[in-house]
Amino acid sequence: MLFLSGKPVWKVFDSIVCFVQDGRAEVVANDAGDRVTPAVVAYRDTEQIVGIAAKQGRVRNAANTVVKVKQVLGRSFEDPEVQTHRAESKCPTAQSALGADVTEAVITVPFEFAHAQKVALREAAEAAGFRVLRLIHEPAAALLAYGIGQDCPSGKSHVLVYKLGGTSLSVTVLQVNGGMFRVLNTHTDHSIGGESFTIALAQHLAAEFKRSFKQDVSRSARAMLKLMNGADMAKHSLSTLGSANCFVDSLHDGMDFDCNVSRARFELLCSSLFNKSVQPIRTLLETTGLSTSDINKVTLTPTYLPDPYLPT
């Protein structure tokens, strides 16, 4: 394990907590057993709820649930408190895995983060009890996590870092030379993310419900949130299965909804999104003056899209 000042160093990759052990980054599962925690915070009476419970609870608590947390960071009055709750939720996860108190952290931030957003994130982490050792850009963190550049101390190489987050897609090209990283170009598209695929599937499920029951639920926020939860689980099941079942209890007027979705159907529904998720790579390489043959390695950071659907 890597120690600084006698204490373990933790890295928070968006909604992922990991520590460095024997020169390798180990991702820690949260109390639900998941290695990725959705960046969602909900408030109910005096209780703060973070992660998957907050995301699934939007059905009954949409007005008090904050999503797209990183996009609003530093841009709203109450947001530092929201970030503090996110940071606080990481502490038990880290301490449980280590069996010791965790007081220091290295936090990753999107490359396009403004100074005010970085300051707000640092203040939120400090309010949660962490001493922030450093803020580092997500593309550089991805290379460090995989040890890229450390195995080739001499000679230049180009690495493409691809990240499809929950609500955005970012592509970055870095030049690696002697263990040093230099960002050549980066592009972030906030019009597409893993949630875009979930929405497409949820809209299909709404159409299937209308076909079966002659009821249109597309204008019901509560019903669509229920379908979003079901679509999200089905989407991840389709990464390993040829079909997935989506069951929603009492979707509308007491009527249950049960539907099977095949992987082929999902791919057809999201074909335009798949094309859209690949286009930024081509555009970025063109503006950087590089071709695909100039890219020595490609790094896929944790994404909100199952592995079989990532661009190759």
The dihedrals phi and psi of 25, each to the nearest 5 degrees, come to -85, 125
Say which range, 112-116, 216-220, 244-248, 301-305, has the weakest mean pLDDT. Answer: 301-305
Hey, what domains does the chain have and what are their CATH numbers? Answer: 3-141 (3.30.420.40), 153-312 (3.90.640.10)
CB 105, CB 127: distance < 8 Å:
no
Residue 5, pLDDT above cutoff 60: no
What 3-state DSSP class applies to 79?
helix
Question: Residue 191 contacts by C-beta under 8 Å, 6 or more apart in sequence?
Answer: none
d(CA 113, CA 127): 20
For residue 105, the Cα-to-chain-centroid distance in whole angstroms is: 19
Q: How high is the pLDDT of residue 29? A: 66
Total-model pTM: 0.74
Taking residues 175-194, report their average pLDDT. Answer: 90
CB 85, CB 41: distance < 8 Å:
yes
Q: What confidence tier does 100 reach under pLDDT thresholds 50, 70, 90?
A: low
Nearest to 172 by CA among 95, 106, 112, 232: 112
Q: What confidence tier does 76 reach under pLDDT thresholds 50, 70, 90?
A: low
Q: How high is the pLDDT of residue 231? A: 94
The dihedrals phi and psi of 212, each to the nearest 5 degrees, come to -85, -40
d(CA 95, CA 130): 12
Q: How high is the pLDDT of residue 174? A: 95
Say which range, 13-22, 190-199, 270-279, has the weakest mean pLDDT. Answer: 13-22
Token pair, residue 217, equals: 């639920």
Per-residue pLDDT of 264-292, as tens digits, reads: 999 999 999 999 999 999 999 999 999 99
Per-residue pLDDT of 22-74, as tens digits, reads: 666 666 666 666 666 677 777 777 777 777 777 777 777 777 777 765 665 55
Number of DSSP helices (H) and strands (E) in the chain, helices first: 10, 16
